[in-house]
Structure formats: structure tokens, C-alpha cells
Amino acid sequence: MKKRTAYLAAFFAAVLGYFLIQKPLFMLYNGSVAKGVPLADYGRVMLHGFTLDAATAGYLTVVPWLAILASIWFKRFPLRAVLAGYYAVIALLVTIIFIGDMSIYPFWGFKLDASVFLYLDSPKNVLASVSAGFVIFRLLCVLVLSILAAWGLYRLTPAVLAGTKRRVAGSVGWILLGGLLFIVIRGGVTESTSNIGQVYFCNDEFLNHSAVNPAFSLIASASKTEDYAKEFDFFDEAKRRSLFNGLYPTGGKNVVELLNTKRPNILIILMEGYGGVFVEPLGGEPGVSPNMERLAKEGVFFTNCYANSFRTDRGTVCTFSGYQGFPTLSVMKIPAKSRTLPSIAGKLVKEGYATDFLYGGDINFTNMKSYLLGSGYQRLTADVDFSMSERKNPWGVNDDITFEYLYNEIKKRPADGLWHTAFLTLSSHEPFDVPYHRLDDKILNAFAFTDDCLGKFIDRLKQLPQWKNLLVICLPDHGFHYPLDEPNNSPRVHHVPMIWLGGAVKQPMVVDKLMNQTDMAATLLGQLGIDHSEFNFSRNVLGEEYVYPFAYYTYNNGFAFCDSTGVTQVDNNSGKTLVDSPAPNSRRMDLGKAILQSSYDDLGNR
């Protein structure tokens, strides 16, 4: 077995080495010298890209692993002959991807992904952009490197493997070794699995892109690539346009000014799952959120807001990019699409704000890291920045610790500096294990804990000089299904609180306009006097053009549309209407379908 294990380790190391050496070559080809990239950054790119390279090498090691498993049951197994064809294929494919990625990047500005397949049906148009010499030289590079790579793998492979007497024990041991290989492919044993975002490590897009394994990027994006524009094609284009136009105005003056300054410091607290079902003034359970209810009276309380989606990865994009949630996909998991979205942080950076994001959990989960860095957050703080003793929650660091960290960070900031911080809480998430015991119901108690942390944090913040120029926005990432005997994904579940408070707020106010979570982006930028026209699914609800209040949300392959006439909720799987209250309304149905179709059209065009 030693010979078999040594071979597999050598194969994995050789493939991994081939991926690692590609990174400095990619950087040099794409002008890293001209860009003044220091030598240390080459090492950082290779170091941070290592895990994704290892995962991709792990995938390619599966076939040799299977061949060796089979060899245990043969007296003489011709391993080299069996794998020669495999070596030729993977060497060619990996090299084509490497050379293609390196060559296309100057034109595209992003890593090779499945969008390349959209151009294969018109190679003439593609080749029109480059010279014949450009193509021939790269084909020669592919040929030479492929031959060298395949030859190297062929040479390190034993020609023949002798059988073993302990076949059953050998097979079991080899299968256990396969478990280790699976962990490498998965990217470890944490909640997050291997994804492009895990290798992002700074705000320099070129360095982040350099760290991404191009083969993984292509395969990962291919698994998520669809013709989104053809999804939910309810209406012809003229009908869709007539229904959709005017629903999401992107201009207009404010009819109400909430702030006493156009450039406050901005803290957005995205509260994990904190739906209106836990806030008594919104019809929720009494006694869960005394602090939030108290703070709502001190600031601007938006009482008729609805979350656009049902999971954190979706709700995060809805909040910070003012973009729709989708019933069948998560945009955050598709970097090729998420990088095209506008963002609050991106707009504020252009206005001179320093930006950072705080989350007590695994920030690599669901490609969150790549989305946040691409959105303009210049510094990320996550679970790995806290000690092991502070990671008491199964998801990471409890809210009392992260709120304390955030308070100390704000306390150190100069009162005259411009900054925007976003903070995603964590403790109000299953399994709801928190260091707090006020309520008997475990779920209610976890949300009460977050409310307690928020109240103490705000009360301490008020004592700081930074409070005077501060705007704090509290908004959940999504709602919560509670109690469980009520219908799932009903409007009550998606109804969420939004509170604006801080020294930058002029006076307490209640805003009861029907709206969505996505509307926070345009409403905030509108109050700051910043153009938000690229946020085409976000409305300034305090603007003069907001004349038709409605809310729209999606859940697992379903959608709902609410306006002053009532609510219509549809299950896309069955095509059935689940809710049509107080009476059926074809207009609500058509507008919901038009928004759903327009959302996928917009995504498909990005």
C-alpha cells in the first residue's frame, strides 16, 4: 500500500504544483510588473489561492484513486497504461483553461467562467478581435505545456501495481483515504464548502482574481449557468414592459427629509431572521423585543416593510445592492452576476467613505466574501478574527461579543471621519444556543438575546461623541416562520421592522408606506442626495415618484405581491394560487408575474 499511497500523493502534488505556478504566470502576463505589484503579493496570491487549487487538484485525483482501488483486486494492474489517456485529457483541458483565462482576462477583466460558452457558436466574431499570430502562439503554448504536463504525470506513475493479499482490508483503508480526499475537495469541515469567494483576501480585484483557480471558476459557474432571460416567460415583451414600466422609479426629490446632515456616518445592522413576528407593534409576540420597540419610538420606524427573500445570502444582496431575491437561485453564489450589481458601499466609497463589514460567522459561506469585497467593503472582520474561546455559537461568535467589538471600534474612530460599517448578527439562528435565559421558549429567547444586545449597544453608543453624526439602520436579512403552525412564507412571515436612529436623525417619525427591504438602498441614497438610478429594483419610498406602494417577495419557487387591494401568493411548482385575499385579483397576479419575469431578464442580461 505504501507504493500506492506514494503515487497518489505525488500525483496530487504534481497537479497542485501546476496550478500554483500558473498564478505568477497569470500575474506577469496581465501586467503585474507595470501595475507595480510587490513581490510579496505574488506569495499572498499563491497562499490564499492554495485551498481552491487543492480542491481542484482533489477533483482530478478522484480517477487515479478509483484506479488504485480497483488495482487491489488484480494480481498485476497496468496503472500507467490505464491512466495514460486520462492524463492526456486533463493535461489538455487544464492547460487550455489556463492559457484561455490568462489571454482573455485583459479583454474581459474577470476570470474565465461559463459565459465563454456563449461565444462558441460564433468563433468568427471572437477571432476578429485578435490576430492570427495571437491565436497560433497560444495554441503552440497549449500543445507544449499539455505534452509536458501529461508526460510528467505519466513518468511518475508506476507501470504496474502488484496485487495484495489483504484485499478487503486494503480496500477499506483506501476508502478511508478517499474520505480525506473528499475533505480536501469540500474545502474542510466547516459550514462553507469550496467556493471562489474563499480565496479573496483584499480590495485589489486583480490580486483576488489572480488567486482564483480558473478551472474551478469555469466548472463552478457552468454548474450555475442557465439562460435566465428565458425563465418564467409569462408574457410577450410588449405585455411585460407595459406591466412593469413605472413600478420601480429611480429618481425624484424627497418629500420628507429624515436627516440633519447629508454626510452622516452610517451603521447598518442586518439582524439575522428578525422578522415582525417578534415585534409586538407589528403584530408579533409580546415581550420579545422591548429594546427594539423602545428604539423605534426614538427614531424613524418603517412599519410596513417586507423582506424580499428567505435566506441570508439572498437577503444580504437584497439589502446592500437593492436587488431582487430569486425563487430558484442565489445571486451571491454566482460571482459572474453579483459583481455586476450596484451597492451601497460602492456608492459611499466614491463619496469618500471608509467601509467595513463585521460578521461573527464564516464569511466564506455562500460566496459572501467575494460579494462583499466586490461590493466595496474595504475591510472584513469574521469568526477567524476572534479567539477560539469567543466562538461559542455553532455558527461562530455570539452577538454580545460582536456588539462589544463593534462598540470599541466605533469608539476609536475620529468624530470627523466618514465611515460606513455593516454588521450581520448571528445569534438568532438555529440551534438558538445563546448565553441568555429570559424566556422559556428557546427560539423567542434567542431573538430576545439579540434585542438585549442591541439595546445595550445603542445606549452605550449614545454616550460617545460619534453618536452626533451617526445614522444607525436596523433591518433584518429575512423574516422568520414562527409559530410553526402558521402558513410558511405568508406575508406575516416576510413582514419585517426597519428602524433608523442616531444623532443624524432629525426627529422621531413613523413611516407606514408599503415597501420592500430592497427599497432601503434607494431611500438611504436619496436622503444623502446621491444618485441611485442604477438600483433598478430599489425605490426611494420618501421620493415624489413613489406613488404606487406595493411589496413583492419570493421564496422557494414561489412569489407574492401585495398592494392596497390585498395579497396574491403563488406556488410556481404547481402553478396554484395559495393566497388571494381578500378576493382574487388578476392585476396583482399579473404584476407579480411581470416583476418575476423582469427580474430574470435583468439577471440574464448581466
pLDDT tens digits, 197-210 = 789 888 787 898 89
Cβ distance 243 to 590 under 8 Å? yes
Q: What is the pLDDT of residue 200?
A: 86
Fill in the amino acid letter for 73.
Answer: W
Mean pLDDT score, 90-106: 93
Distances (CA, A) of 538 to 321, 413, 420, 551: 9, 31, 20, 11
Q: What is the pLDDT of residue 379?
A: 97
Mean pLDDT score, 522-529: 98
d(C-alpha 200, C-alpha 48), whole Å: 7
Confidence of residue 155 (pLDDT cuts 50, 70, 90): very high
Helix axes 290-298, 442-461, angle to 10 degrees: 40
Cβ distance 377 to 356 under 8 Å? yes
d(C-alpha 39, C-alpha 32), whole Å: 10
d(C-alpha 42, C-alpha 44), whole Å: 5
Return the H-helix or E-strand segment holding 523. helix 519-528
Distances (CA, A) of 334 to 104, 109, 160, 276: 20, 16, 44, 30
Cβ distance 258 to 500 under 8 Å? yes
Q: What is the pLDDT of residue 504?
A: 98
pLDDT at 72 over 80: yes
Closest CA to 473 of 443, 489, 496, 495: 496
Question: 3-class SS at 588?
Answer: helix
Residues 6 or more apart from 401 whose CB is under 8 A from it?
360, 386, 390
Closest CA to 70 of 188, 149, 163, 189: 163
d(C-alpha 597, C-alpha 250), whole Å: 19
Cβ distance 316 to 361 under 8 Å? no
Beta bridge partners, 543, equal 254
Cell of 245: 414600466
User: What DSSP assignment string belongs to 241-264?
Assistant: HHHHTTSS-----BSS--BS-SS-
Of 21-35, 139-153, 158-172, 198-212, where does the model show the most confidence?
139-153
pLDDT at 500 over 90: yes
Return the H-helix or E-strand segment holding 409. helix 399-412
pLDDT at 120 over 60: no
d(C-alpha 211, C-alpha 358), whole Å: 23
554-567 burial: b if 16+ Cβ within 10 Å, else e: bbeebbbbbbeebb
d(C-alpha 430, C-alpha 481), whole Å: 12
Mean pLDDT score, 454-465: 98
d(C-alpha 349, C-alpha 230), whole Å: 35
Q: What is the pLDDT of residue 114?
A: 67
Return the H-helix or E-strand segment holding 567. strand 566-571
CB burial of residue 153 (10 Å; 0-12, 13-18, 19+): buried
User: Which pLDDT tens digit goes with each residue over 293-331?
Assistant: 999 999 999 999 999 999 999 999 999 999 999 998 899
Report the length, in residues, of the chain: 606
Q: What is the pLDDT of residue 116?
A: 66
Task: Give 28's DSSP letter.
Answer: H
Confidence of residue 376 (pLDDT cuts 50, 70, 90): very high
Percent above pLDDT 90 for the chain: 78
d(C-alpha 556, C-alpha 562), whole Å: 18
